[in-house]
Structure 1
């Protein structure tokens, strides 16, 4: 049954009740009016007849009273709402009022007659030689009331039909917006949250449409948010699971299946202890105790065991699952991230750092050995070579005239001693420049450039130094010098360079910037395995040990540039 029909039926029932009440009131009024009219007519009739009786007594010459009354009644005829009967002394009927012709064609139903018919009133008068009886007869009044009621009924019936038709039509017009509302609700029920209602003229319907559209926007936003959350949970690389307060698993996403090898149907409903390796039981109990106390467990590095028995290094984060209505903890939301690669990277970084420290220690020992060896060469071998040269010069001076052959051999020994002395100094310079300990990095580099320029006069060297470079310390001095030494050696031996530019700057922030650039044949960096080129590898290790960066920029036939940056903490 439609709302339109129900409303129309309700209005019809209310109209029927109203018309029934009105009819009851009208009938009640008709009854009172009929009774009052009959009583009044009876009183008038009785007074009239009493007057005739009295006049007959006062005028005996008119004849006997019953005769006079008979003649009067014959001339009187029918009296409204009364029936007059005249009997003689022996009870014989002399006169009876003729029936009323007023609305004789009306035939009121019996129920109506019973409703408005008043109590019958009988008045009797004994007259000379007869009996006069006046009986109230409301038939005419009842027929008249029925006629009026019938006319009113048909008028009301017509009004009722017209009003119902108008109400039905107007309800259909007013309730026309309900159809798109029901259609929109049905579409939303089927999952179409984008459906919206138009604006309506009626303020109530307009408000309903506004609230419906707001509800649709809210549902759409929440659905989109839920869909995004579901996609995140489904597609995230982190294993996400939900435990109840008993520790049983109630949710298991795809990442958890990939990480641990259990399908959802294999693990949902089982205890979380299935993932706990031996020795970690106390950790699980501690986590659940924290969750029940509304505390979080964040980024806890631990281990879990997969279905194949292998241990997985994971980072665990857990938070309490709270009922939004009661505010009580009803479970735990747990996410686990596989940190196996991170652990391996940390171990590799640790081993690399240990290797670098070992390399640095080895280089330190090598530099110490080079320093000792250079000192030994300078102090021991240098003295012997000097002594040999001195003895040879003395022999040559004493035998120049007497024994010219011996003098010539002595001069040969002097020349050999000088050659040995120069070679020894070159070796000492390669092992450990003496100026590095005595004069600092700047003078050592200038001395090295002068030496290289002397050995390679066809190569142009430039040196650009800037900043406070004389208080860098032994470690920085020797490492920077070795980098410059290795770079220049490579450029001279392999690059066929004709120009080598060296630039060392200490910035105002305390960082060091070293650049060695040549115009040699260059190389294809992409095809060079720097891990197998010990010169590049050694320089890189030296820089990384000082927490700096090492870069090589080179192109074929366009030269090579080595760039080193050592931050302030490495230069300190």
Structure 2
């Protein structure tokens, strides 16, 4: 549940409580006021009638005989129903109109029933009309609170309308205020997403709200420290990789200069022994041939190790030709897998670290294709690409093999690839669904 919705629900609940409480108080007040108004009007009419009779005892006889009360003139006496009834029980005059209503009823029936249930029952007041001890008729005054109910209904509906308008306006104002207050959170989320995607340049602006401003300051300091820490780790990783390459270079030199020369000498001596034994010691010829074949095999093994430890062709021909030679050699060993490479935008003044990193990346990727992918085709592209204002080289290796699960990636040399690339300030991404696709970008000038 969002904060805006939660606040609106709380305010709505409070306003509904206030509305119901106000409606109850208004209803109770309407009941009391209606009762007071009707009783007051009834007492006034009775008082005036009694006063008139006392002042003129013959008034009742004359008025009744001539229908001279003219009760229709009292039709605006809204709270009372006044009827003149003769001795036969017939209504001969009333203040009611012909349809029984003196005004347009505006209150709904349920509202009248509710007030009638809450109010004590209305009893009509009767005044006997006598002349010389003979009852000529009676004047019946019945309280009629209908108009008062309609008036109170209008007051209550007007009040509730104002409350409803106030309720809507308050909710709209709260939604607007909360939206304005939370608008900076979108910037915070965007910055967090950028940070999650590896953009360490993400920063938050200064916010007007003190609470959000402190969050922004803390976030910016955290990113700066994280950026510094990652930069230090990358430099350390690069130093370790450089040391590793130096060790490989030294080891390759030792193997080439010492072990390789010794094997060459052994092979030469075995050939000489084989020729001499052919004439003088035939029984030694077979052993000499075996030694020669074994030395050739060891020479091939050493050549392969030298290629793995330190590709000399990288120093001799440069990255582009070294990659082409790597692919050609790999294709000759894996004739059942089609392999194509496209190279563009590579300058020969690349640093040794970048050249070695790209070479190792392609080399390790081809090794994984041969060992694990079960692919029939692999495409390699190396081209120049500018990202975030920095020139770099993009390396893409894609095969149509079976792919692999994320938890299996540690066995494919991928962590080492990622360390090499990120150690040079680059980015490394791998996708494995329909085949495997490796994308790496390395800045030409990392730092």
- Tell me the TM-score normalised to structure 1 length: 0.41
Instruction: Tell me how far apart the structure 2 counterparts of residues 376 and 452 of structure 1 sit (CA, whole Å).
Output: 26
Whether the 8 Å CA contact 1:317–1:334 is kept in 2: the answer is: no
2:404 counterpart of 1:528:
no
**Deviation of residue 569 (structure 1)?**
4.3
Q: Does 1:394 align with 2:394?
A: no
Moved more, 407-416 or 346-355: 346-355
Secondary structure, counterpart of 1:468 in structure 2: coil
Separation (CA, whole Å) in 2 of partners of 1:473 and 1:344: 32
- Paired position in structure 2 for 1:489: 367
1: CA distance, partners of 2:411 / 2:280: 60
1:539 pairs, out of 405, 417, 425, with 417
8 A Cα contact 2:350 2:444, kept in partner: no
CA distance in 1 between counterparts of 2:394 and 2:206 reads: 44
- Structure 1 pair 546/405, CA: closer, same or farther in 2 (3 Å)? same
Q: Which residue of 1 aligns with 2:190?
A: none
CA 1:316/1:433 → structure 2, altered by over 3 Å: closer, same or farther?
A: closer
Q: In the alignment, which residue of structure 1 is the partner of 2:342? A: 464
Preserved contact between residue 513 and residue 564 of structure 1 (Cα < 8 Å): yes
**Counterparts of 2:363 and 2:379, CA distance in 1:** 13
Tell me the equivalent position of 1:373.
251
Partner of 1:425: 303
The alpha-carbon deviation at position 421 of structure 1 amounts to 0.4
Greater share of residues in helix: 2
- How many residues of Structure 1 are paired with residues of Structure 2 in the alignment? 266
Once the 2 structures are TM-superposed, how far is the Cα of residue 341 of structure 1 from its aligned partner? 6.0
Q: 1:472 to 1:455 in 2, by over 3 A?
A: same
Gaps of 5+ in 1: 1-182, 195-219, 239-314, 320-332
Alignment correspondent of 2:327: 449
Deviation at 1:191, TM superposition (A): 8.6
Aligned partner of 1:511 in structure 2 is: 392
Larger radius of gyration: 1
| C-alpha displacement of 1:342 | 5.7
Q: Counterpart in 1 of 2:439?
A: 563
Look up the SS of the partner of 2:425 in the other structure: coil
Q: What's the CA shift string for 1:119-171, capped at 9, x where partnerless?
A: xxxxxxxxxxxxxxxxxxxxxxxxxxxxxxxxxxxxxxxxxxxxxxxxxxxxx
**Partners of 1:523 and 1:501 in 2: how far apart?**
18
Quote the residue 1:440 is aligned against.
318
Mapped to 1, the partners of 2:164 and 2:225 lie a distance apart of 54
d(CA) in 2 for partners of 1:380, 1:498: 40
- Report 1:165-564 matches (<5 A): 231=178, 334-335=210-211, 336-338=213-215, 343-344=221-222, 346-507=224-385, 510-524=391-405, 527-528=406-407, 532-533=410-411, 535-555=413-433, 558-564=434-440
Q: What is the alpha-carbon distance in structure 2 between the residues aligned to residue 461 and residue 485 of structure 1?
A: 13
- SS of residue matched to 1:516: strand
Alignment partner of 1:528: what SS?
helix
TM-score w.r.t. length of structure 2: 0.51
Quote the RMSD (CA, aligned, Å). Answer: 3.7
Gapped regions of structure 2 (runs ≥ 5): 1-154, 186-203
Q: Could you tell me how far 1:369 is from its partner in structure 2?
A: 0.4
CA drift at 1:553 = 2.3
Q: Deviations over 1:389-423 (max 9, x none)?
A: 11111111212121112122111111111111000
CA distance in 2, matches of 1:234, 1:481: 52
Task: Please give the alpha-carbon distance, in whole angstroms, between the structure 1 residues aligned to 2:440 and 2:263.
Answer: 41
